């Protein structure tokens, strides 16, 4: 199979590329810099230079491939709404050339903010139609047109060496502010997944995913934020501290809203339907081994 992947040089995308190549697939990888071009080429893939705003380039990549994996997103939270619109237009552009074919497209979404009906967020829990990120809604709209679109929801931490996401920012803020802080009581929980396991799930969804299916990439089902802060406290010899109100906003800055979500999640349906089993180390062990 020839696969077109956006975000091919990224934290998750680069591992997906590597796994696809090892399994004998051909890969076209969207890249936006010379450094990314060389990285993707070194992995054995064919780089395609372009931005998420280059809709005609996206259409070319999707047209030339037998399937699409969309992992790219512009992670500038000061322009989140603008970037969500760019993401929506990119998904629609790629979908437009898949209509009338049997080519699959796997779209990336997120767990945080999904309202849970029970103790855990499950694949059956619907995304709020008013969500500021449009990827899930747009993927379902593609599926309604007969396009073989499925969705993978990622947890807030997709961890491994080279992580530049939420957890490294939490560590940075702890060091900068001189304390390993957690929000309020610290009992709210985040799920997590090792990026090697997440990459494997993307490939399974591409190969076996059902139309309109929602899959969860979950290794750790729910880690209390206080436990994450405790690892930072132990490793950096910082006092462990609760922050609330204005102090919480000052400590976590743009992440203040996200850090307070309680979003434990399960992946039982995903495991049953795709035969996926996470096998790599969990977040807390990964932090101790690789994050300091």
Residue at 292 is within a domain: no
**CB burial class (10 A; 0-12, 13-18, 19+) of residue 174?**
buried
What integer pLDDT is reported at residue 60 of this predicted model? Answer: 98
Domain tally, the chain: 2
Same domain, 240 and 144: no
- The C-alpha atoms of residue 154 and residue 194 are separated, in whole angstroms, by 10
Same domain, 58 and 70: yes
Rg of the chain's alpha carbons, rounded to an integer? 19
Are the CB atoms for 3 and 69 separated by under 8 Å? yes
Are the CB atoms for 46 and 232 separated by under 8 Å? no
Same domain, 103 and 214: yes
Domain housing 184: 166-189+223-260
What integer pLDDT is reported at residue 23 of this predicted model? Answer: 97
**Segment-wise mean pLDDT, segments of 10 residues, the chain, 292 residues:** 97 97 98 96 97 97 98 85 94 97 97 93 90 90 97 98 95 98 98 98 98 98 98 98 98 95 98 98 98 97
Are the CB atoms for 71 and 109 separated by under 8 Å? no
Residue at 285 is within a domain: no
What integer pLDDT is reported at residue 133 of this predicted model? Answer: 82
Are the CB atoms for 150 and 215 separated by under 8 Å? yes
What integer pLDDT is reported at residue 78 of this predicted model? Answer: 76
CATH number of the domain that residue 234 is part of: 3.90.25
Same domain, 198 and 252: no
Same domain, 254 and 209: no
Same domain, 70 and 129: yes
What integer pLDDT is reported at residue 131 of this predicted model? Answer: 79
Same domain, 124 and 148: yes
Same domain, 267 and 122: yes
What integer pLDDT is reported at residue 257 of this predicted model? Answer: 92
CATH number of the domain that residue 32 is part of: 3.40.50.720
Residue at 288 is within a domain: no
What integer pLDDT is reported at residue 132 of this predicted model? Answer: 79
What integer pLDDT is reported at residue 75 of this predicted model? Answer: 80
Same domain, 140 and 241: no
């Amino acid at each position: 199979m020839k696969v077109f992947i956006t975000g091919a040089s990224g934290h998750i995308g680069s591992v997906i590329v590597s796994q696809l190549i090892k399994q004998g697939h051909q890969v076209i990888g969207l890249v936006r810099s010379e450094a990314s071009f060389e990285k993707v080429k070194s992995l054995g893939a064919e780089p395609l230079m372009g931005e998420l705003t280059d809709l005609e380039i996206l259409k070319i990549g999707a047209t030339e491939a037998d399937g699409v994996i969309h992992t790219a997103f512009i992670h500038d939270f000061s322009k989140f709404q603008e970037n969500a619109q760019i993401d929506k237009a990119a998904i629609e552009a790629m979908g437009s050339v898949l209509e009338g074919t049997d080519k699959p497209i796997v779209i990336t979404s997120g767990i945080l903010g999904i309202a849970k009906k029970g103790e855990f967020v499950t694949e059956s829990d619907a995304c709020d139609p008013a969500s500021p990120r449009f990827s899930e809604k747009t993927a379902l709209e593609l599926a309604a047109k007969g396009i073989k679109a499925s969705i993978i929801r990622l947890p807030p931490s997709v961890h491994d060496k080279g992580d530049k996401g939420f957890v490294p920012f939490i560590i940075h803020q702890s060091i900068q502010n001189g304390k390993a802080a957690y929000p309020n009581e610290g009992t709210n929980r985040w799920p997590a997944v090792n990026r090697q396991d997440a990459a494997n799930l993307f490939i399974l969804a591409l190969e076996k995913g059902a139309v309109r299916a929602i899959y969860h990439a979950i290794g750790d089902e729910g880690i209390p934020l206080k436990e994450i802060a405790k690892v930072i406290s132990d490793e950096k010899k910082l006092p462990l501290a609760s922050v609330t109100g204005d102090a919480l906003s000052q400590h976590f800055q743009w992440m203040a809203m996200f850090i307070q979500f309680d979003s434990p999640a399960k992946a039982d349906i995903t495991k049953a339907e795709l035969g996926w089993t996470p096998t790599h180390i969990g977040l807390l062990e990964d932090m101790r081994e690789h994050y300091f």
